[in-house]
Chain A
Amino acid sequence: MLEFIWPSIELFFTLQNLLVVVIGLFIGITIGAIPGLNVPMTIALLLPITFYMQPVAGLTLLMGVYKGGTYGGSISAVLINTPGAPAAAVTCLDGYPLAQQGKAGKALKASIYGSVIGEFISDIVLITLAAQIARIALKFGPHEKFSLVVFALTTIAMVSSNFKIKGLIAIFFGIFFRTIGSDPIFGSARFTFGIFKLIGGIPFLPHLIGLFAISEFLIQIEKRIRKGTMDVVVPPPKTPDDDRVTWQEFRSNIRTIIRSTLIGIGIGALPGSGSSISAFVSYGAAKSASKNPEEFGKGSLTGVFAAETGNNAVTGGALIPLLTLGIPGDPITAIMLGAFLVHGLVPGPELFEKSATIIYAVFIGLIVANIFHFFIARLGVKLFTRLLSMSRAYLFPIVLVICMAGAYTTNSNLFDVYIMVLFGVLGYIMKKLSFPIPPLMMGFILGPLLETSLVQLMILGDGSILPLFTRPISLLFVLLTLFFIVWSTVFQKRKKDRK
């Protein structure tokens, strides 16, 4: 590996590559922060441009967008309670309450520190331990995936709110909504009620925008307005400490950051999982380990650190199966696979032998991107806070127009906009009745993985689910699920009673 370092440094450190990293991060952060635009779409749109670039420049541009976009989702999550990306739904839980207390700057900075550290460590792990981790990830069959999904969903239901049964109900609703359309195994139509457009299922982006952004718009509409007065969306900080993360706060969250990073790398390395699971599992783990779990959901800084570190640490992890085995784990890495192939780089075990200099130059690009990410995001905090600190008289109608355009452009279809409005009303009703929304979203995202892995494991076991309890990794997740249920119901109740 060491013999490739110097030529790779020479290959990467050109003005064009450095500029490309900055542009990629800037585009990614901006796209991530705007509800209705997403990273896979942006990477797909930029892909043709990279054909005309040198391989290192093209790939680092896409990596920059990936990193920036994963972080950018947290900006709108913290400031307007609308995640720019699915994984940032977890950040809403504590980021938004913090912003409403005048601590938007603190939450956004915690999000930067968590994201950058998570990314940095996961990149180092990618560079040094990719092959070993990929070997473990290959052991994940349908049994392990099924038990991991069940564990993730249980965690989400238990940590999203105090109303655990309501969290579970939301998950079931999410899974149900995902069953609408063709089933993922045989393509049989389900719950389409003769509506042709439903055969493709409920589109994800309009569903996400509706649940979070439109429901928040309706909540804002409720508030009484006195003529001539306009409330600001993000209250200003009361003290200088409200605008920054103090050293003491950072130090007390180091364990959370490290734990969430490891979770992010592990989950990122598993094909088909993704940053949403990682963010929720990290958040759940942080809540379990916390001395003050009752603060979660009300503006806990640890909650923001956990969610953001967990979701950004996935970026390095997700590249492990892509680069070492040629298996893309999610839509983003699938598009990146295309970029690698276009430049004549075939991901797989031979990639590190045949194109080592280019790959290590890309790795250097990842590390450099982390450094730039820190500074660009820091500058962005001021800009976005100022932009979103305008009166809600202007902000919410603007956000709504962007959402309308975002929902429409998903498939250039009006049906999707109606779906968005419908889910907006559903999200509003859920908020009013104290049903948490993130579990519904996660049920929707993980539904197909849950179903396909269940069908596969049943076929493999001739209708038996016993191997779930005999295969070690699967058993570990089953036990973790049981532990988490017992912990969050019995132990937490006892702790509360004692207080």
Chain B
Amino acid sequence: MIRPTRRSVAEGGAVALIGSSVLILVPSQVKMMPGMQTEISPSFIPAIVGVGLIVLGLSLILQSAMGGVKSRRIDWDKTTSIRILTTVLLMLAYTTLFPILGFVVTSAVFVGFFTIFFGSRTWWKIVIVIVLIPVAVWLFFEKIFRIPLPHGFLY
């Protein structure tokens, strides 16, 4: 038997840990209705999922120990992590500002930022995208589909 890779131990261990957490959480997080008596309780499927994840997590480690399928290398460096973290935070900020500034304004700021981030330097194209896209999407949802998007305090 070959020694399992560190990555497979980490991945398999994390999956098994999540499975165990599901099993631990079942008694407190699955609320039974009073007087409920059935062949299968609402906790049956979550319990199966928990056990399944533990078994599969351990199988992942075992597979690696037996020289099974090798995972692809993960390309990851400091710049990538900063970029991803910034983007996720920006998306959360976008979502939070959505109802305050309104869909059109928030989207214009967001589109502008990422258009420049992705390498566009032609100012007139950036302006067109910033103005046209949020307004077009807004019109599409509000006027054609009659689904309201947040207007914010500006208008």
Give chain B interface residues in 45-60, CB to chain A under 8 Å: 45-46, 49, 52-53, 56-57, 59-60
Give a binary string over A404-448; 1 marks a CB under 8 Å from any B CB, 0 the rest.
110011001010011001001100100011100000000000010
Q: Is the interface of A mostly helix, strand, loop or mixed?
A: helix
Closest-CB distance, A339 to chain B (whole angstroms): 18
If A172-B49, A175-B49, A459-B38 touch, whether A222 touches B84 (CB-CB below 8 Å) is yes
B115 touches A225 (CB 8 A): no
The 5 residue pairs across chains A and B that have the minimum distance between CB atoms: A393-B118, A397-B114, A393-B120, A183-B42, A458-B39
CB neighbours (8 Å) of A462 from chain B are 39
Does B57 lie within 8 Å of A459, measured CB to CB? Answer: no
Instruction: Give residues of chain B (1-30) contacting chain A, Cβ–Cβ below 8 Å.
Output: 11, 15, 19, 22, 25, 29-30
A281 to chain B, nearest CB (A): 22
The answer, yes or no, to whether A375 is at the interface (CB within 8 Å) is: no
Contacts A191-B25, A192-B29, A409-B141 given: A397-B98 contact, CB under 8 Å? Answer: no
For B30, the chain A residues whose CB sits under 8 A away are 188-191
Number of interface residues of A (CB under 8 A): 70
Query: B118 near A414 (CB under 8 angstroms)?
Result: no
A186 to B31, CA, bound (A): 11
Q: Is A291 an interface residue (CB 8 A)?
A: no
Jot down 24 A-B pairs with beta carbons below 8 A, ordered by A: A166-B60, A172-B19, A175-B49, A179-B46, A185-B38, A187-B33, A189-B31, A231-B119, A391-B119, A397-B118, A398-B129, A400-B91, A400-B111, A400-B114, A405-B149, A408-B103, A409-B141, A412-B148, A417-B95, A447-B45, A454-B44, A455-B39, A455-B40, A459-B39
Chain B residues contacting A409 (CB-CB under 8 Å) are: 141, 145, 147, 149
Q: Are A421 and B38 in contact (CB under 8 A)?
A: no
Q: Any chain A CB within 8 A of the CB of B137?
A: yes
* Interchain CB contact under 8 A, B115 and A433: no
Residue A169 interfacial (CB < 8 Å): yes
> Which of chain A's residues 296-350 have a Cβ closer than 8 Å to chain B?
none
Given A169-B57, A188-B42, answer yes or no on A176-B22 (Cβ-Cβ < 8 Å).
yes
| A125 on interface, CB distance cutoff 8 Å | no
- Determine how close the nearest CB of chain A comes to the CB of B19; give it in whole angstroms: 8
The answer to whether B38 touches A404, judged by C-beta atoms less than 8 angstroms apart, is no
Q: Assess the B33–A186 pair: CB atoms within 8 A.
A: yes
Partner of B63, one of A165, A189, A190, A229: A165
Please, how many angstroms separate the alpha-carbon atoms of A243 and B75 in the complex? Answer: 32
Tell me whether B110 and A421 are in contact (CB under 8 A): no
A490 at interface (Cβ–Cβ under 8 A)? no
Chain B's interface size range is 35 or more
- Considering the complex, give the chain A residue whose CB is closest to the CB of B56: A169
- The answer to whether A421 and B29 have CB atoms under 8 Å apart is no
- Minimal beta-carbon separation of A497 from chain B (angstroms): 13
Contacts of B36 in A (CB 8 A): 186, 188
- Contact with A397, one of B56, B92, B95, B111 (Cβ below 8 angstroms): B111
Interchain CA distance A451-B39 in the complex, whole Å: 12
Contact between B49 and A392, CB atoms less than 8 A apart: no
A153, chain B: closest CB distance, angstroms: 11
The residue in chain A whose Cβ has the minimal distance to the Cβ of B145 is A45
The residues in B between 100 and 155 inclusive whose CB is less than 8 angstroms from any CB of A are: 103, 107, 110-111, 114-115, 117-121, 125, 129, 133-134, 137-138, 141, 145-150
Within 8 A of B (CB), among A53-76: none
Q: Given the known A-B contacts A165-B60, A401-B111, A401-B133, are A221 and B125 also in contact in the complex, defined by CB atoms under 8 Å?
A: no
Within 8 A of B (CB), among A189-214: 189-193, 214
A414 contacts B84, C-beta separation under 8 Å: no
Contacting A421 at CB < 8 Å: which of B57, B72, B92, B146? B92
Is the beta-carbon distance between A405 and B32 smaller than 8 angstroms? Answer: no
A168 to B54, CA, bound (A): 12
